[in-house]
Amino acid sequence: MNLCRKPNLAHFAITIIGKDRTGIVADTSEVLYKLGCNVEDSSCTMLGGEFAMILIVAHEKPFSKKKLEEEFALKTAGTGLSAFVRALKDDEVCYQGPEGELCLISVYGSDKTGIVYRVTRELADRGVSITDLNTKLIGKPTDPVYVLVLEAALPQGLTVEDASALLEKLKKELSVEISVRLITPVSL
């Protein structure tokens, strides 16, 4: 799927990061609302005690990166938040959905160095495109369990069963559980 944006719009990628507190999303969206920006895509998450947010926003041209930077500087002053703004070129704002079957890959096991690298390297070497990835520690502090969940687009000719089979060796080497399942897209 390829959804291109309108040429009369300026697009920006905005990253917000800082110590988590109540109101970060509200403060960010307030700045964008008051400027007349439309949030076209966004993702937010907690990373340790840090809050991270990335947004793709649009505004009718002419509109400048400098205006966004100035308004975010005023809003984030003294809050410990950092805001970064990048103007996007026209060819950077076409949404291109993943090609191939989508699958969800879950990895559970004892926390150890290399789980993300080994799993993602195995997938990349087979042409699998990762579209989303999250990790976290769950369980008790005395017995933590590492969780890696990723969404991936399988290349033409690679099935969910093939992806599961290629990760089988890693299950043993890393002493983890790995499951691969098909994600069925929903049409609206």
User: What radius of gyration do the chain's Cα atoms show?
Assistant: 20
DSSP H stretches of helix in 53-141: 65-76, 115-125
Burial class (CB in 10 A: 0-12, 13-18, 19+), 24: buried
pTM of the model: 0.75
Structural domain 9-92, CATH architecture: 2-Layer Sandwich (3.30)
Interior/surface letters 68-84, b for 16+ CB within 10 angstroms, e for the rest? beebbeebbeeeebebe
Q: Each residue's pLDDT tens digit in the chain (188 positions)? A: 445 657 789 999 999 999 999 999 999 999 999 999 999 999 999 888 899 999 999 999 999 999 999 999 999 999 999 999 999 988 787 766 677 889 999 999 998 899 999 999 999 999 999 999 999 999 888 888 999 999 999 999 999 999 999 999 999 999 999 999 999 766 66
CA angle 59/60/61 to nearest 5° reads: 115
Structural domain 102-182, CATH architecture: 2-Layer Sandwich (3.30)
* Ranges of CATH 3.30.70.260 domains, the chain: 9-92, 102-182
- Distance (Å, whole) CA 62 – CA 146: 47
